[in-house]
Amino acid sequence: MLDAVVIGAGFSGLYMLHSLREKGFSVRVYEKGNGVGGAWYWSRYPGARCDSESHTYCYTFSEKLYNEWTWSSRYPEQPEILRYLNFVADKLDLRRDIQFNTEIKGAYYNENINKWSIQLGNGSEVIAKYFITGVGCLSINATNIPKIKGLDQFRGEWYHTGSWPHEKVDFKGKRVGVIGNGSSGIQSIPVIAQEAGHLFSFQRTPQYAVPAKNFTYSSDDITNYKKGFTETRQKMHQSRAGYPWDYNNRSAMEDNEEERNRVYEEAWETGGFIISSTYNDLLVNADSNHTLGEFVQNKIRTIVKDPILAEKLIPDYHFATKRLVLDTNYYETFNRNNVTFVDVKASPIQEITERGIRTADNEYELDSIVFATGYDGMTGPLLKMDIQGKDELSLKDKWENGASVTTYLGIATAGFPNMFMITGPQSPSVASNMPTSIEQHVEWISECISYLHKNDIETMEANLADEEAWSRHCDEVYRNTLYSKTPSWYSGANIEGKPSAFLIYLGGVGAYNQKIKAIASQGYEGFTIKTATNLAK
Ligand code: NA7
């Protein structure tokens, strides 16, 4: 019997394994892929790149580890992130406790022995005291391939950005249709367009993108970011979104238009997400948000030469209330002769035919279709497994068929003792720099398991009342922001039939960290803890 089973060998699972093993626990990680990396193992589409700066999109729990790896550029491309995670796995000798090519089908809590029984894809079973999900918020198991009639008839090749082939896909001279223009569409369209004979971008809803302004790190950049390790780590863990930025604590309404535009222009030229933190109320005050939205809309009008097309690429919702995307030449790509924009809001996709995509008013002949259509995010990766807690309660019944998704702190959920979720629903997760949030959860869970062990505690379970209070709090915070005005995958709106619920805690990474630490220091307030003696009664 193991102390802990962890699912997934991405950022979460790798650190969870290391952290628990360092404390002397027996741990086994099960991973569907043939290597480490999680989402970065599968998402190999052209142009795949992280939107967080490389020296912040990595582990910071060890200064030694941090300094032993050198990032090549400001925003790391997928192959570099994968190399980094392989480097970490080797440095920390993690592979000996990871079983690759192994999918977890389900897990059930056996109340007779107070242990989790975990079912592997090959039909075998492992028993562990703690069951920890490191499945990520977006996963290969929860890709969203829209149910468009006729896909099986298509004679060409089709791909989803989140499960891309390992060998290079050759688009040279081909007619390629890309459906979707979220992060993966916006990253892949400019790169595919350079190679393809012709690219057709099928857009349903425009998305805001701001320039990444990527560059290769100079040796000075590398020396400086490494020197800044301690301050960077501290700032990230105390910040709003897991980034080491110095935030401006002023409302956009406190400056006049000229000054605001100067501030936005400077951020635009700098590149990156920082533009949405140029003032402190951009995501809560509609007037402030409007000023930045207008600034970016004018940029799109300047870049896209065809004024009618430019208007179609401009969103009509509050700036950054769907996930803001960093781009490299996205809007510019629509000036190319080999790129055609297809407005599928005006003329919806009706079917996929043998030859391509048929919309209400046209048929587009294609050799390849790229689904850049996202994921059933947050809950999807968890609910694809059959997880059963006490009294045979399934997580699916609790969350999908029940009234709503509720968790305690995004780490645990009532009815599922000794189960922990790394960056689960209602934690800061995807509204933050993921490695920062992952480190907070892994360190909390590993401290918690040590505490349970030292105190001979057999079971720990979130209290329903505390969980409901946390979920209400998440909802209140959300309702005070402009995110509540825009349906998105953050609230499940992209998946037909998915109950609508905002699945991210927006109270800030620093505040969240303080909260979970306070709960731990108060003897895990909000959880019911039972020793073997309590259980025997
Ligand atoms: P996203 O951001 O969910 O984007 C999916 C895109 O696909 C989006 O533009 C959708 O339009 C579009 N979509 C989805 N279904 C359809 C159909 N049926 N027809 C036309 N268009 C469709 O996924 P990504 O993979 O790009 O990014 C996911 C996350 O990865 C991202 O947030 C980052 O955290 C990294 P819609 O807006 O729904 O109208």
DSSP string, 429-469: GGGS-HHHHHHHHHHHHHHHHHHHHHTTEEEEEE-HHHHHH
ipTM of the complex: 0.99
Structure tokens given for 51: 């939107």
Please provide the DSSP assignment of 201-269 as one string. Answer: EEESS---EEE----BPPHHHHHHHHHTHHHHHHHHHHSSSS-------S-GGGS-HHHHHHHHHHHHH
CA distance 35 to 33: 5
Q: Please name each of the domains of the chain with its CATH number.
A: 2-141+376-536 (3.50.50.60), 175-371 (no CATH)
**Which residue's CA lies nearest to atom 23 of ligand 1?**
374
Report CA Rg, the chain: 23
- Give how far Cα 218 sits from Cα of 58, 70, 189, 223, 233, Å: 19, 11, 28, 9, 21
| Residue among 33, 26, 84, 29 nearest 57 (CA) | 84
Mind listing the pLDDT tens digit of every residue in the chain (537 residues)?
999 999 999 999 999 999 999 999 999 999 999 999 999 999 999 999 999 999 999 999 999 999 999 999 999 999 999 999 999 999 999 999 999 999 999 999 999 999 999 999 999 999 999 999 999 999 999 999 999 999 999 999 999 999 999 999 999 999 999 999 999 999 999 999 999 999 999 999 999 999 999 999 999 999 999 999 999 999 999 999 999 998 889 999 999 999 999 999 999 999 999 999 999 999 999 999 999 999 999 999 999 999 999 999 999 999 999 999 999 999 999 999 999 999 999 999 999 999 999 999 999 999 999 999 999 999 999 999 999 999 999 999 999 765 589 999 999 999 999 999 999 999 999 999 999 999 999 999 999 999 999 999 999 999 999 999 999 999 999 999 999 999 999 999 999 988 888 999 999 999 999 999 999 999 999 999 999 777 766
Compute the distance from residue 137 Cα to the ligand 1 centre, in Å.
Answer: 14
For the chain, the distance separating the N- and C-terminal CA atoms, rounded to the nearest angstrom, is: 25
Residue nearest to atom 5 of ligand 1 (CA): 373
Q: Which of 512, 372, 350 is nearest to 444 (CA)?
A: 512
Secondary structure letter of residue 68 according to DSSP: H
Residues whose CB falls within 8 Å of the CB of residue 387, separated by 6 or more in sequence, listed in order: 106, 107, 108, 394, 395, 396, 416, 419
Please indicate whether residue 181, judged by its CB atom, sits closer than 6 Å to ligand 1: yes
Q: Which of 40, 143, 184 to mutate to test the pocket of ligand 1 (most atoms within 8 A of CB)?
A: 184
For residue 403, the model assigns a pLDDT of: 59
Atom of ligand 1 nearest to the CA of 187: 26
Ligand 1 centroid to Cα of residue 144, in Å, is 9
Rounded Cα distance, 426 and 491, in Å: 11
Using DSSP, state whether 105 is helix, strand or coil: strand
Is the distance from the beta carbon of residue 185 to the nearest atom of ligand 1 less than 6 Å?
Answer: yes
Q: What single-letter amino acid sits at 97?
A: D
Count the Cβ atoms, other than its own, within 10 Å of residue 368: 21
Which of 160, 204, 375 to probe ligand 1 with, by most ligand atoms within 8 A of CB? 204
H or E stretch covering 500: none
> What is the enclosing helix (H) or strand (E) of 104?
strand 104-110
Mutate to test the pocket of ligand 1, among 164, 322, 373 (most ligand atoms within 8 A of CB): 373
* 151 within 8 A of 351, measured Cβ to Cβ: no
| Position 119, amino acid | Q
Please state, in angstroms and rounded to a whole number, the distance separating the CA atoms of residues 8 and 482. 33
The Cα-based distances of 52 to 77, 182, 248, 268, 436 in angstroms read 11, 16, 19, 16, 11
Quote the tokens at residue 326: 């960093």
Alpha-carbon distance of 53 to 518, in angstroms, equals: 30
Atom number of ligand 1 nearest to Cα 373:
7
